[in-house]
Amino acid sequence: MAAPRNTTDDDITTEVLQRFAQTSDTRLRQIMLSLIGHLHAFVKEVELTEAEWFQAIEILTRAGHLSDDKRQEFILFSDTLGVSMVVDLLNHRKPDGATESTVFGPFHRLNAPEMPYGGNIAPLDKQGPPTLVSGRVLDLGGRPIAGALLDVWQAQTSGLYDSQDPSLHQMHMRGKFHTDAEGRYLVRTVRPVHYPIPSDGPVGAMLRATGRHPWRPAHIHFVVSAEGHEPVTTHIFDSADEYLASDAVFAVKGSLICDFTRHEMAEGEARRLGIIPPYYTTHFDFRLKPASGQTTVLDAQQRLAALGVR
């Protein structure tokens, strides 16, 4: 006599768990069993309707159609749901004094141009006020790290990254800088602006339906890496921005907020670089923790490439 078929929702959950319990990879088994348990519990808790389930399928399908090498709708979902920041915190616990990490974001591109000390990543942006970002890369003992790599990227004053701007056919607002013998770096750019994340897709629809805005506070992205040290993916934020307390992707940390100081007369590096006032300066020192393994600059770039963005 055939065994009776599943008749309740709990019976289905039990059978699904039993089948995945045979997964040979220990970590994959742990992830799948937990995912199934939480997913089934969620469906039961909210008593998900068929219409709602098919709507979710349609949303995910549209997210897939929108995603390419210039836009990643699933990263936007992860960011706006706070998942990216939780994963970041779990994977990048920092000792006291180390620069805190934050979200990677969907707009990094590989192969940004190498820049000299004081190089200008914003030559085509004539709207934003000139800005100098300076500081040092240090170890946890405060010793300078020579030759550290800073991969820098930023939105234009228009609020668009180069990959979003159809008028641009080249990389812009991006560059790679190396620290000098004293661990110093200098980046010439324009003052960052707040901007909305792409909101013409399913992520935007979710934000509108839940009464949330799509705005990110003004920031500049950095990935800082050096031989023998753990790379850090982070931002620096403008302390004057109105969206610091309500960042759409929950990425703001107090230690990453910087003051941008206005200058009416060119001095020092600004004069040497021919910057016409008014201009702004800000200073931020990055502090890297020792690598737990053989982490190198190349490792950091490989991790960026693995995310499938360019």
Does residue 130 sit in the same domain as residue 184? yes
Does residue 230 sit in the same domain as residue 283? yes
195 in a structural domain? yes
- Measured N-to-C along each axis, helices 202-209 and 50-66 cross at an angle, to the nearest 10 degrees, of 130
pLDDT number for residue 71: 83
Average pLDDT, the chain: 92
Cα separations in angstroms, 251 against 87, 100, 235: 12, 11, 9
256 in a structural domain? yes
**Lowest-pLDDT choice from 30-39, 100-109, 223-232:** 100-109
Q: What is the pTM of this model?
A: 0.87
pLDDT band at 4 (very low <50, low <70, confident <90, very high): low
Beta bridge partners of 257: 237
211 in a structural domain? yes
Does residue 138 sit in the same domain as residue 219? yes
pLDDT number for residue 268: 92
64 in a structural domain? no
pLDDT at 189 > cutoff 70: yes
What HEC string does the chain produce? CCCCCCCCHHHHHHHHHHHHCCCCCHHHHHHHHHHHHHHHHHHHHHCCCHHHHHHHHHHHHHHHHHCCCCCCHHHHHHHHCCHHHHHHHHHCCCCCCCCCCCCCCCCCCCCCCECCCCCECCCCCCCCCEEEEEEEEEECCCCECCCCEEEEECCCCCCCCHHHCCCCCCCCCEEEEECCCCCEEEEEEECCCCEECCCCCHHHHHHHHCCCCCEECCEEEEEEECCCECCEEEEEEECCCCCHHHCCCCCCCHHHEECCEEECCCCHHHHHCCCCCCEEEEECCEEECECCCCCCHHHHHHHHHHCCCC
- Who has greater pLDDT, 112 or 70? 112
Does residue 137 sit in the same domain as residue 209? yes
- Who has greater pLDDT, 303 or 264? 264
pLDDT number for residue 294: 46
Beta strands 195-196 and 215-216 are antiparallel
pLDDT at 304 > cutoff 60: no
Could you give the CA distance from residue 224 to residue 235 in angstroms, rounded to a whole number? Answer: 10
Does residue 114 sit in the same domain as residue 16? no
Does residue 136 sit in the same domain as residue 251? yes
What digits encode the pLDDT tens for the residues 252-282? 999 999 999 999 999 999 999 999 999 999 9
63 in a structural domain? no
Q: What is the CA radius of gyration of the chain?
A: 23
Does residue 231 sit in the same domain as residue 276? yes
Residues with Cβ < 8 Å from 4, sequence gap 6 or more? none
Beta bridge partners of 221: 153, 235
Residue pointed to by tokens 């309500």 = 246
Tokens of 183: 């661990």
Residue pointed to by tokens 């790379």 = 231
What residue numbers bound the domain in which 294 lies?
73-306
Q: What is the CATH number of the domain that holds 192?
A: 2.60.130.10
Number of domains observed in the structure of the chain: 2
Does residue 150 sit in the same domain as residue 275? yes
What digits encode the pLDDT tens for the residues 83-133? 999 999 998 888 999 999 999 988 899 999 999 999 999 999 999 999 999
Could you give the CA distance from residue 177 to residue 113 in angstroms, rounded to a whole number? Answer: 9
What digits encode the pLDDT tens for the residues 154-178? 999 999 999 999 999 899 999 999 9
